[in-house]
Structure 1
Amino acid sequence: MAKFKSIRPILSTNELNETIAFYVNVLGFTCAEYNEDWGWAALHKDDAEIMLAKPNEHVSFEKPTFTGSFYINVVNVDELWEALRDKCNICYEIETFEWGMREFAVYDNNGYLLQFGEEIV
């Protein structure tokens, strides 16, 4: 059977430069690659990778249609919460859940839901 190595979501956006700025300036990602002709960028922060792309001309796109969330496991989730709480549109504030995760969620500038969590031992 094939082995899966990693997953790198590609987020569609009509606001590529604004989205790069959100991930770089607010969340601390680095824009590792950017191609204006392709309407594409690759962002990295530690082990997390996200690609951004202008919508494909073959797909109808008005706003994000992803119905789930992007869950990012982090170290020091409380520190991250303090850094982001006044800079982002909050979905829910930091909380410790009965399944052993301490987490919070925000929306990016496009409306994509980003959850950040840390396992509590």
Structure 2
Amino acid sequence: METLAPNIFTRNIQETVALYTLLGFKVAMSVPEQGDELVWVMMVNGGVTIMFQTFDSLEEDLPEISRGNGGSLLLYINLKNIREFFESIKGRVKVLKGLEKTFYGATEFSILDNNNYVLTFAEHE
């Protein structure tokens, strides 16, 4: 195995792209490649790749993918300059837990994305 790139399902892909753009991600690929009605998008920030896809785009092929947004998933993202990053986004996202030093030496904070997934950002100093 070499990498892991989660494919996260969303009901509103435009809102998801907007939020993750705010977090510094850039669209690397999308379906369709142009236009407003995206059904899938790959977003990248440094070494982190996350794909987002609409539930509707797979309802015929994989009807098992039919659940509410969110769930018991937390994405743990390592980065540098966590304090600067936190200050740049804290008033524009839903912060669940502010900056704090953990017992294992990391500085972390957590936010909730528009799909009710928890993103925890960490810097291991």
Is the structural similarity TM-score above 0.5? yes
Give CA-to-partner distance per residue, 1:8-62, whole Å, 9 cap, x none: 01110010111111111x1011111111477110001111100000123112223
4+ residue runs over 2 A deviation: none
Q: Equivalents in 2 of 1:38, 1:109: separation in Å?
A: 17
TM-score (norm 1): 0.89
* Aligned partner (choices 27, 33, 39) of residue 29 of structure 2: 33
Equivalence for 2:16? 19
Q: Report percent identity of matched pairs.
A: 28
How far residue 86 of structure 1 moved from its aligned partner, in angstroms, is 0.6
Matches within 5 A, 1:1-121: 4-24=1-21, 26-36=22-32, 39-55=39-55, 56-57=58-59, 58=63, 59-65=65-71, 67-120=72-125
Gap regions ≥5 residues in structure 2: none
Distance 1:38 1:93, change over 3 A: closer
Structure 1 CA distance, aligned partners of 2:83 and 2:10? Answer: 29
TM-score of the aligned structures, taking structure 2 as reference length: 0.86
1:72-96 CA-to-partner distances (Å, cap 9, x unmatched) read 0000111111111111101100000
Stretches of structure 1 that go unaligned for 5 or more consecutive residues are none
